[in-house]
């Protein structure tokens, strides 16, 4: 199955019609308002009607997950597991695909996490979110759609 193979720099760069439009940024944050905590991704609460991430089938992307707070947020995306960058790789040097590891959830602390996905097994709608239920329920979730090109 193609989705289990390591994702190379060349595959990332070939996504996006020849130009490197990546990485996408996914930033987790929280704020107090009206005596309640509010949870956001990219500064916005969840909107069930929004189309936050529209991706193309049979492409690969690199994303950077960040979290400025001291409270970790476990990132989880439905349908497509992803690879995280290991400690031995330098993104400014030649790709070392064997240093990337497959996950379906990763903790995002104050140090940004670089991930890679390949979208080849499913076209349709699903979500990404913080895997702490109260954070997800209070807005830390986004819609994803993979379109078959």
pLDDT in tens, 6-26: 887 778 765 555 444 568 899
Domain containing 38 — which CATH number? 2.60.40.420
What is the tally of structural domains in the chain?
1
> pLDDT digit string (tens) for 93-144?
555 666 678 889 999 999 999 999 888 888 899 999 999 999 999 999 999 9
The pLDDT > 90 percentage for the chain reads 50
Spell out the SS3 assignment of the chain: CHHHCCCCHHHHHHCCCCCCCCCEEEEEEEEEECCEEEEEECCECCCCCCCCEEEECCEEEEEEEECCCCCCEEEEECCCCEEEECCCCCCCCCCCHHHEEEECEEEECCCCEEEEEEECCCCEEEEEEECCHHHHHCCCEEEEEEECC
Range of the domain at 99: 2-147
């Amino acid at each position: 199955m193609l989705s289990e193979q390591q994702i190379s720099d060349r595959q990332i760069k070939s996504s996006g019609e020849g130009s490197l439009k990546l990485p996408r940024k996914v930033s987790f944050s929280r704020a107090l308002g009206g005596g309640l905590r509010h949870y956001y991704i990219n500064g916005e609460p969840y909107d069930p009607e929004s189309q936050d991430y529209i991706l193309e089938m049979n492409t690969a992307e690199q994303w950077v997950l960040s979290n400025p707070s001291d409270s970790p947020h476990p990132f989880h995306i439905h349908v497509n597991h992803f690879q995280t960058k290991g400690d031995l790789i330098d993104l400014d040097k030649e790709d070392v695909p064997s240093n990337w590891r497959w996950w379906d959830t990763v903790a995002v602390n104050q140090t940004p996490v670089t991930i890679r996905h390949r979208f080849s097994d499913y076209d349709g709608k699903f979500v990404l979110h913080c895997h702490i239920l109260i954070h997800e329920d209070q807005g830390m979730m986004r819609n994803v759609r993979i379109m078959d090109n």
